Structure 1
Amino acid sequence: MIESIQQFDLELFLKIHRGLSNGFFDWLMPLMRNRYFWSPLYAFIVIFCIKQYRKQGYYIIGMLLFTFAAGDTISAKIIKPLVARVRPCNDFNLTNYIIHRVPCGSGLSFPSAHATNHFAIAVFLIGIFYSRWKPILPIGIFWAFIISFAQVYVGVHYPVDVTAGAILGTLIGFICSRMFKKLQPDF
């Protein structure tokens, strides 16, 4: 069973990483996974929360940082060392198949911390703001998805890595948004 999942994962990885290869994606996908590219969005979230919600805005930002820290710690510090899966771009068996679009890094692959963190942030924000602004649901999910997809496209994660990260991040974001609602019941 595990071998068949790994084989499917490898085949899907190659279909995305090599099969979807084109100049536009080669330009776009490295940007989508770059934290500096999203800095204006992060700054907007902070400024918006503080200006719009004042004291509660600081609580939102604090809980958002906690959500990010929880996702990053659980994925990168706890699960990755336990699983110890090598990134596809560092797998010697895939040397001839990898297109180096970004530096690979020396970190491990499972689960994707990018996917975990961004799904956690997106789901947390959805949980907080959905009742006030319904478009946050598709926008937040698409945002986290495109960052996760980019991880596979550039060759630093397998599809199962980002899927597991998305599931983990969704769970963390949901729990943290519920915690926030319990701590701030009038929000």
Structure 2
Amino acid sequence: MWEALIEKDQDWFLYLNQLGTPSWDSFWLFLSDKWGALPLYALLLFLVSRQLGWKRVLLFLVFIGLLITTTDQLSGFFKYGVQRLRPCYDPGLEGLVRLVKSSCGGRFGYFSAHAANAFGLAAFFTVFWGKSRRLWGVLLILWALLVGYSRIYLGVHYPLDIATGFLAGGLLGWLFAQLYKKADQNIFK
């Protein structure tokens, strides 16, 4: 059963990866680049600081930092624990992967830290804002989904790597948002 899932995952990867065209490469590279998201992060920080004030923003940023650290470390733990080769290193896919970047990253890719971080942030903000800024939650989830797809497009992750990253990031984003709310209530009564 596991082998059938891996084979299907490779098929999905090849299909999605081959949809790429050189005219879209720079867009997906930008979307996948951590520095490309800085304007979004600055806007989110601005919105949160207007809502909370600067004293409470510091606590907020501590929880965001803990969330990203946790998703990154958990991803690394799984990458070296599972040791599933990235598509660009898989000998069975040699010559079939459309690798857009000049490098592929580390040898192992299960699960995607990009997907976990993006979806973790989207989940955190969605829970934090709740119904008051529902549109922002939808936009952030859409952004996270696009970041995840960019990793397949670029040839560095399988769809299962992305889906697992989304799951881990979503769960951790929800958890850290709940923890933040409790800490905020206890500190700033």
Aligned residues: 185
Q: How much identity, in percent, do the aligned residues show?
A: 26
Partner of 1:7: 7
Partner of 1:85: 84
Superposed CA offset, 1:108-150 (max 9, x none): 1000010111111110111111232110221111011000000
Partner of 2:71: 71
Greater shift after overlay, 49-58 or 111-120?
49-58
Partner of 2:141: 141
Higher helix residue share: 2
Partner of 2:163: 163
Partner of 1:118: 118
Alignment of 1:49-60 (within 5 A): 49-54=48-53, 55-60=55-60
Partner of 2:37: 38
Greater shift after overlay, 90-99 or 166-175?
90-99
Greater shift after overlay, 46-55 or 125-134?
46-55
Amino acid in the other structure paired with 1:85: R
The 1-side partners of 2:99 and 2:110 are apart by 19
Greater shift after overlay, 125-134 or 159-168?
125-134
The 2-side partners of 1:116 and 1:146 are apart by 12
Asked if the contact 2:99–2:156 (Cα under 8 Å) also holds between the matched residues in 1, the reply is no
Cα offset, 1:51, TM superposition? 4.0
- The runs of 5 or more residues in structure 1 that have no matched partner are none
Asked if the contact 1:51–1:57 (Cα under 8 Å) also holds between the matched residues in 2, the reply is no
The 2-side partners of 1:107 and 1:34 are apart by 19
Amino acid in the other structure paired with 2:86: R
The 2-side partners of 1:112 and 1:48 are apart by 28
Cα offset, 1:47, TM superposition? 3.3
Amino acid in the other structure paired with 1:81: Y
Cα offset, 1:33, TM superposition? 0.4
Asked if the contact 1:122–1:140 (Cα under 8 Å) also holds between the matched residues in 2, the reply is yes
The 2-side partners of 1:43 and 1:92 are apart by 41
Amino acid in the other structure paired with 2:177: S
The 2-side partners of 1:112 and 1:15 are apart by 19
The 1-side partners of 2:127 and 2:152 are apart by 27
The 1-side partners of 2:46 and 2:58 are apart by 10
